[in-house]
Amino acid sequence: MLLPVIFYYHRLNCYSFNALAGAIDASPELSGLKIDIALNAARLRACASERVRRHGRAVVAFSVLTCQLKRTGSIIQELRSDLGSNVVIIAGGAHATACPEDLLEMGADCVIRGEAELAFPKLLGSIMQGDWIRGSITGEPVDIEAFASFSPGRGMFGPIEITRGCAFACSYCQTSHIFGTRLRHRSVDTIVRQAETLRSINRKVVRLLSPNAFSYGSSDGRVLNLDAVRELLHGLRTRLGPSARIIFAHFPSEVRPEHVTPDTLDLLKEFADNDEIVIGAQSGSRRMLDACRRSHDVKSVLNAVVTARRYGYKIIVDFIFGLPDETEADLKETFSLMDEVVGRGARIHPHIFAPLPQTAFADREPGRLSPEVNSALNRIRSRGGLYENKSRTGDQM
């Protein structure tokens, strides 16, 4: 018997659920499975109650970031209070991967660690057959060629993931710990087919998702494979035609500063449509860049901005404040770089450091906005140099 499944479809997790829906579509055993989308906690509770009333049981799935843990626990408790054991709660995502016991203690029935395209449909099948055990499940790395980034039949669309994994394992970032440091790339043919699906339903914008956009096709994530990048972008433009808008090296991806070169920008200019690039700097202090294991220097950030501006691109530069052991001298160097890149026409996208499990900074205290940082950001804001799109992620100011 196919039970109804409800996704808590939060804006911070929607790409993950798009991929899970695509994985369910690829599972013949789950053909015809009903998935409800709940955009907020109130709708989730109402939908779960209605589905339990009609079907006797329902499955609720969460994808959990560390910043969402406390709120997710409250929602799980509310569901338990309302529906008891008639609701089966599954949790996955970044925090569940690192600390599954947190979600189990909060009341989740099953927690999936790691990649879930195979593990999630298998778990759903077991639940529906009544053959499952409460606890933690390890999802193995998957062949990303075998799954779509979204579910056309369910109207669940988003960016096309082109690369999974990151070679750098920065001290504050969980990506390399979840997906590995060895990159896996979707083939050009698979990416183009997914893009053609988007165009077939009159979606003009095709966004490409990667931890580091210009690393596509690279064997190690550090040395670029420009032939592969060209093949990807040329293939998309040729098959999609001039009316499609190809967005690359912009949200939900960014680029490393040392990879912003005339060669990469020539490709971007020739084939893509975005007029803005997101560059990850994180600090203007060489000492802090080394502590973060960024593997680039301060000069490369400035060179990236200067080069991209010469090509006519608008620039957003990410910085993290409140990093562990950050000193006044480090901040002074960061403020100096901020002033310089804003003077070159870039905008600053500020973030506050948050310790994430599995990372080198996992046991450090959360960052805070000091009066000096607030003053610097206000000065940048007064010059029109601050990027403050609060719809993008949960940690910007």
Model pLDDT for residues 236-263, shown as the tens digit of each residue: 999 999 999 999 999 889 999 999 999 9
**371-382 and 328-343 helices, crossing angle to 10°:** 10
Q: What is the rounded average pLDDT of the residues 261-277? A: 97
Distances (CA, A) of 217 to 183, 306, 316: 9, 26, 25
Strand ranges, E, within the chain? 5-8, 35-38, 58-63, 87-92, 110-114, 135-139, 160-161, 163-164, 184-185, 205-209, 245-247, 276-282, 314-321, 347-352
CATH of domain 275-397: 3.30.750.200
Cα atoms found within 13 Å of the Cα of residue 80, Cβ hemisphere only:
14
CB 109 within 8 A of CB 127: no
Phi, psi for 164 (deg, rounded to 5): -125, 135
Predicted confidence band of residue 388 (pLDDT cuts 50, 70, 90): confident
pLDDT greater than 70 at residue 186: yes
- The CATH 3.40.50.280 portion of the chain extends over 5-139
Asked if the model's pLDDT at residue 397 lies above 70, the reply is no
- pLDDT of 17 higher than 60: yes
Contact 38, 47 (CB under 8 A): yes
pLDDT of res. 250: 94
- pLDDT classification of 390: cutoffs 50, 70, 90: low
Asked if pLDDT for residue 394 goes beyond 60, the answer is: no
What is the spatial distance between Cα 279 and Cα 257, in angstroms, rounded to a whole number? 6
5-139: what fold? Answer: Rossmann fold (3.40.50)
| Residue of 333, 287, 304, 150 lying closest to 212 (CA atoms) | 304
d(CA 364, CA 314): 34
Interval 31-60: pLDDT, tens: 889 999 999 999 999 999 999 999 999 999
The conformation of residue 170, written as its DSSP 8-state character, comes to: -
- The pTM of the full predicted model, rounded to 2 decimals, is 0.93
Looking at residue 219, what DSSP letter applies?
S
Sign of CA dihedral 118, 124, 129, 132: positive
Looking at every residue in the chain, the average pLDDT score rounds to: 95
User: How sure is the predictor about 229, in pLDDT bands with cuts at 50, 70 and 90?
Assistant: very high
Q: Which residues of the chain are in CATH 3.30.750.200 domains?
A: 275-397
How far is 90 from 64, CA to CA, in rounded Å?
10
Percent of the chain with pLDDT over 90: 93
CA distances for 137 relative to 3, 123, 171, 238, angstroms: 20, 9, 26, 42
Q: In this predicted model, what pLDDT tens digit does every residue of 98-142 receive, in sequence order?
A: 999 999 999 999 999 999 999 999 999 999 999 899 999 999 999
pLDDT single digits (tens) 287-345: 999 999 999 999 999 999 999 999 999 999 999 999 999 999 999 999 999 999 999 99
For residue range 169-179, list pLDDT tens digits in order.
999 999 999 99
